[in-house]
Amino acid sequence: MNKIRLAMLLFVASEAVFFILLIVAYVVYHATSPSAADPSRYLDIPRTAGFTACLIISSFTMRRAGIHFRTGRRRPALAWLLATMALGTAFLTGQGSEYVSLIKQNVTISRDLFGTTFFTLTGFHGLHVFIGLIMLGTLFGLQLKRGVTGRSEAVESVSIYWHFVDAVWLIIFPVVYLWVLR
Amino acid sequence: MNSEINTSKKPESILEVREYKSLLSWLSSVDHKQLGIMYIATSLMFFLAGVSMAMIMRTQLIKPNHHWLSPETYNQIFTMHGTTMVFLAVMPMLTGFMVYFTPLMIGARDVSFPRMNALSYWLYLMGGLLIYFSFFTGDTLHMGWSAYAPLTSVNYSMNKYMIGTGVDYWIVGLLLTGAGTIMTAINIVVTVADLRAPDMKLTQIPLFVWMSSINALLMLLALPALNAALVMLFLDRQLNALFFNPAAGGTPLLWEHAFWFFGHPEVYILILPGFGIVSEVIPVFSRKPIFGYAFMAVATVAIAFLSFGVWSHHMFATGMNFTIYYVFALSSMLIAVPTGIKIFNWIATMWGGSISFDTAMLFSVAFIIQFTIGGLSGVAFATVPIDWTLTHSYFVVAHFHYTLLGGTIFTVMAGFYYWYPKITGRMLSEKLGKIQFWLMVFGFNGTFFILHFAGLAGMPRRVFTYPDLPHLATINLISSLFAYVLGLGILVFFANLVVSLFKGKPAEDNPWGGWTLEWATSSPPPPHNFDRIPPVRSIRPLWDLEQSKKQPGVAAPPSHRGDSA
């Protein structure tokens, strides 16, 4: 296996452990502290489901971009990359507006255990999406300047990272948003 | 051969290597050999600080009702001693050996990501300095290296005048060194996967490289657990999050689980490269190939795997379901099996060999005995009732110093005596080495064996003084006096390092008759490592080369060019 992809896979494995710990913290407190306020009153689940769809679709667009990069088709590759970035940005915007509405309802990181674990878990995921966007932007800039020349390990490894960020959300969404429905 | 390259005289010592002469060449280095030396040198400085703190502690404990240090000062010193030794001394020292020797032993030019390697080192140094900066904040750490909540909460770090920020520096420092460690881990695994000599199979890499790679995987999967716990703690302190705040329903147990989920693999991170060093030293000084190479490798994998399933044995005293007790007690005992396999393999390697007791070998043999004692008290601790009785007593202190000091530090010493000639081009003085060895053996065992009994007599750890109860005064006096002997041994070691660098006997390329690839290049190795990489047909490529030279009819297998051209 190529060394850059292997390095990214190892990094992703390490990050997975980090998220497992945060998810466990959320689950433990959600299951054991009955005094916490019922989060379903604050969370707008259909809206978040919409933004979740954005993130899932962005994994597919990333894959399309990778295929076009491999076959050396410049314009479609850049277009799919741009689409991925747009979908990622949409997700982050959704998360931002969700945070604003929660804080307006006085749900903060220091209010109760739900706030603490919710903001930590989703916040670190958001940070990872943000870092992914920076990677995608760098990729876009480089490819715009240099042009597309066959298989690029940078594209392959960034897409590993992006799929990972997506997969983490696929766990967070049911655990945080669907579990409150009971 | 290569006469056009070797027209200039080969540097005899690392001080004479042209490329390493300027300070800038070190500060801007991406050479794994320079970075390895920087790792080792920095960790030795932190090690010296850690040893000094240990001496202060033993002086404080030399007699009952001693009020030389205040309780606060004592707490700060044992906290910094633990943090320093685990994160800033032993781990980076082993990392230094890993970074220096992994590429050399697999016949590579450098690690896969040299610049990331440099970043790892600088993150480690800066993180370490940040942790020490907490001394200047007016309120340094006093919660023990395991940092149990709620001792780390804001309420506990207030003194008369202000809220202390020592814990925050500790958190940020550990996050930085942790990030560096994860990068090194990625680097080592990828290097071993990607840059082995052209014909070197995975079943032919030296055991030190095997154990370093497994160790790297452990770092990769254990450190993020600590990082997660640290960011939760940081949020608690900075943004008033409630993770570890019992008043709001949070629980300190979450910290303990997360910390020990990292902490138990961590103790194997601190020993596996040491196992690797010993697995290199013992065959060479017994003039026999290692016994059970495949079993050694598989046992390492088994240890790594099991080490993620034993963490709760650090928390037996917190009270658990009995099923959980059984599971963790059994898994903890199970881990003695692969470790025992290793011990027997080392003994079997020595069996019938023509052993030469140079200092490196002496340290390896002492390691086997001392580590076995530490392992046995570890198995005892896996038994839940024994753990209930002895946890948080001096028995624990004796147990883990037998594994980390009598274990890891002794392997590291073996590594120094074995590899110092390769790194610097000078031999360490064997005379000083033997003096150091006996001082350390007597000092170490005298200090710590008797502490088992202090624990059995009921002396709790982490207390600044103790009442004049039967036996305690005698035990502690003996322990403290031997601690000074141990300290003297460590001073002799430092003196040897410095004196031998300038006055040591010049080292040949292969002074010990080693068989692995690092001995195939010059001492010290040139910046590009190898002019020619010998062919690899087994785990002992240099032995094969020697044999083929003895049979004139048989042509030697072709060697490969290094990356120098």
pLDDT of residue B156: 79
Q: Which residue has the higher pLDDT, A155 or B213?
A: B213
pLDDT under 50: residue ranges of chain A: none
Q: Chain A contacts of B253, Cβ < 8 Å?
A: none
- Give the domain CATH number at B445: 1.20.210.10
**Confidence band, pLDDT 50/70/90 cuts, at residue B402:** very high
Asked if B221 is an interface residue toward chain A (Cβ–Cβ < 8 A), one would say: yes
Output the six-digit token pair for B242.
Answer: 């409630």
Residue B160 has pLDDT above 80, yes or no: no
- For B217, the closest chain A residue by CA position comes to A10
CA distance A111 to chain B (A): 8
Asked if B190 is an interface residue toward chain A (Cβ–Cβ < 8 A), one would say: yes
Asked if A7 is an interface residue toward chain B (Cβ–Cβ < 8 A), one would say: yes
The reply to whether B22 falls in a domain is no
The reply to whether B14 falls in a domain is no
Residue B484 has pLDDT above 80, yes or no: yes
Residue B562 has pLDDT above 90, yes or no: no
Name which of A5, A6, A9, A10 to mutate to probe chain B: the one with the most chain B Cβ atoms within 10 A of its Cβ: A10
The whole-number average pLDDT for the span B93-116 is 96
- Main-chain dihedrals φ then ψ at residue B222, nearest 5 degrees: -95, -40
- What is the number of other CB atoms lying within 10 angstroms of the CB of residue B431? 10
The whole-number average pLDDT for the span B117-136 is 94
Give per-residue pLDDT as tens, B62-81: 999 999 999 989 999 999 99
pLDDT of residue A34: 62
Looking at B308-429, list the stretches that DSSP marks H as alpha helix, in order from N- to C-terminal side: 322-334, 336-350, 359-382, 384-390, 394-403, 410-424
CB contact under 8 A, B220 and A13: yes
- For B257, the closest chain A residue by CA position comes to A21
The residue whose two tokens read 């990729």 is A139
CA distance B202 to chain A (A): 15
- pLDDT-wise least confident of A59-73, B171-185, B260-274: A59-73
User: Residue B213 sits in which domain range?
Assistant: 28-561
pLDDT of residue B2: 44
Residue B24 has pLDDT above 70, yes or no: yes
The whole-number average pLDDT for the span B434-450 is 97
**Confidence band, pLDDT 50/70/90 cuts, at residue B146:** very high
The whole-number average pLDDT for the span B442-471 is 95
Interface of A with B in 43-102 (CB under 8 A): none
Asked if A112 is an interface residue toward chain B (Cβ–Cβ < 8 A), one would say: yes
Of B224, B240, B250, the CB nearest to A17: B224
ipTM score of complex? 0.94
Which among A100-114, B129-143, B201-215, B530-544 has the top mean pLDDT? B201-215
What is the enclosing helix (H) or strand (E) of A150?
Answer: none
d(CA B100, CA B111) in angstroms, rounded, equals: 9
pLDDT of residue B553: 61
Asked if B227 is an interface residue toward chain A (Cβ–Cβ < 8 A), one would say: yes
Please give the tally of structural domains in chain A. Answer: 1
pLDDT of residue B529: 94
Asked if B113 is an interface residue toward chain A (Cβ–Cβ < 8 A), one would say: yes
User: Residue A28 sits in which domain range?
Assistant: 3-181
- Cβ(B380)–Cβ(B437) below 8 Å: no
The reply to whether B17 falls in a domain is no
Give per-residue pLDDT as tens, B489-506: 999 999 999 999 999 999
- For B237, the closest chain A residue by CA position comes to A110
CB contact under 8 A, A7 and B223: no
Taking alpha carbons only, the member of B81, B219, B233 closest to residue B151 is B233
Taking alpha carbons only, the member of B108, B297, B121, B334 closest to residue B212 is B297
Taking alpha carbons only, the member of B432, B383, B526 closest to residue B10 is B526
- For B221, the closest chain A residue by CA position comes to A14
Please give the tally of structural domains in chain B. Answer: 1
Q: Which residue has the higher pLDDT, B70 or B550?
A: B70
Number of A:B CB contacts under 8 A? 89
Of A18, A33, A113, the CB nearest to B228: A18
- Give the domain CATH number at A104: 1.20.120.80
DSSP string, A48-77: HHHHHHHHHHHHHHHHHHHHHHHTT-HHHH
Of A15, A17, A109, the CB nearest to B235: A109
Cβ contacts of residue A15 below 8 Å, gap of 6+? A128, A164, B224
Of B224, B225, B250, the CB nearest to A113: B250
CA dist B413 → B14, B90, B94, B419 (Å): 20, 12, 11, 10
Residue B6 has pLDDT above 80, yes or no: no
Name which of B242, B256, B261 to mutate to probe chain A: the one with the most chain A Cβ atoms within 10 A of its Cβ: B242
The whole-number average pLDDT for the span B55-60 is 97
CA distance A35 to chain B (A): 8
Residue B47 has pLDDT above 60, yes or no: yes
d(CA A177, CA A39) in angstroms, rounded, equals: 9
3-state secondary structure of B319: coil
The residue whose two tokens read 């073996």 is B414
The reply to whether B531 falls in a domain is yes
Cβ contacts of residue B432 below 8 Å, gap of 6+? B492, B495, B496, B499, B500
pLDDT of residue B7: 45
- Main-chain dihedrals φ then ψ at residue A63, nearest 5 degrees: -65, -40
Residue B321 has pLDDT above 50, yes or no: yes
pTM: 0.94
**Confidence band, pLDDT 50/70/90 cuts, at residue B176:** very high
Of B194, B225, B249, the CB nearest to A21: B225
pLDDT of residue A175: 92
CB contact under 8 A, B224 and A112: no
pLDDT above 70: percentage of residues in chain B? 95
- For A34, the closest chain B residue by CA position comes to B249
Q: Chain B contacts of A1, Cβ < 8 Å?
A: 193
